[in-house]
């Protein structure tokens, strides 16, 4: 008897139903983690939704976007990096292949000085193929990403429409905080 294949479309429906349950962020992350793990266990899962049907695309793309849920195929080139930034909401990462190294930060200041943040790195994490990790609500969503070796494919799930809001980059040395908007590809 063949096992039914869990598809990206089914994952979107499941994640949408969980978010619609209007639970707290910890419970939402907990409930979405299992289906995300099930999905990324299929190395070819992006074939379901990639614009050209390629399970190993060279560029990331949006899988689903709404005001309170965004699901993206994130494709990292070898040695890629993302600067220290935030998401303004919870996030889950599920690595399909390769690995992501996350530097996680906490604020040491009280946010009373505009456009300034004093950060300290806490609990860095490596997320390998078949693994997931999560970020909670601000201010605990400040992090940077490194791809230590090879190309990495991942599915990232956010509790906000990441491409429709201002976010912030943080300079660890100067403390400067700079606003930016992500440019999403559909």
Taken in order of first residue, the domains within the chain and their CATH numbers are 8-181 (2.60.120.10)
Distance (Å, whole) CA 63 – CA 82: 20
Over the stretch 141-184, which tens digit does the pLDDT of each residue have? Answer: 899 999 998 999 999 999 999 888 889 999 999 999 999 887 65
Distance (Å, whole) CA 184 – CA 186: 6
DSSP category for residue 66: E
Residue 110 in this model has a pLDDT that exceeds 80: yes
Looking at residue 186, what is its pLDDT? Answer: 44
Across the strands, what pairs with 178? 169
Record the pTM: 0.91
| C-alpha distance from residue 96 to each of 6, 15, 102, 151 (Å) | 14, 18, 16, 11
CB 46 within 8 A of CB 53: no
Distance (Å, whole) CA 159 – CA 10: 18
CB 106 within 8 A of CB 122: yes
DSSP reduced 3-state for 128: strand
Is the bond into 71 cis (omega within 30 degrees of 0)? no
Residues above pLDDT 90, as percent of the chain: 81
Residues above pLDDT 70, as percent of the chain: 97
Residue 136 in this model has a pLDDT that exceeds 80: no
């Amino acid at each position: 008897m063949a096992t039914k294949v869990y598809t990206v479309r089914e994952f979107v429906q499941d994640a949408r139903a969980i978010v619609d349950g209007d639970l707290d962020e910890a419970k939402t992350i907990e409930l979405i983690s299992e289906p995300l793990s099930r999905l990324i266990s299929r190395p070819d899962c992006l074939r379901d939704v990639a614009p050209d049907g390629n399970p190993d695309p060279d560029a990331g793309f949006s899988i689903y976007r709404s005001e309170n849920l965004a699901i993206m195929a994130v494709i990292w080139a070898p040695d890629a990096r993302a600067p220290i930034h935030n998401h303004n909401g919870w996030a889950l990462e599920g690595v399909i292949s390769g690995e992501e190294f996350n530097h996680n930060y906490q604020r040491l200041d009280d946010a009373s000085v505009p456009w300034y943040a004093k950060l300290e790195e806490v609990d860095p994490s490596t997320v390998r193929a078949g693994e997931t990790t999560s970020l909670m609500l601000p201010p605990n969503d400040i992090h940077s990403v490194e791809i230590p070796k090879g190309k990495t494919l991942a599915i990232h799930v956010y509790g906000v429409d990441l491409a429709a809001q201002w976010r912030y980059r943080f300079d660890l040395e100067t403390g400067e905080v700079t606003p930016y908007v992500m440019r999403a590809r559909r």
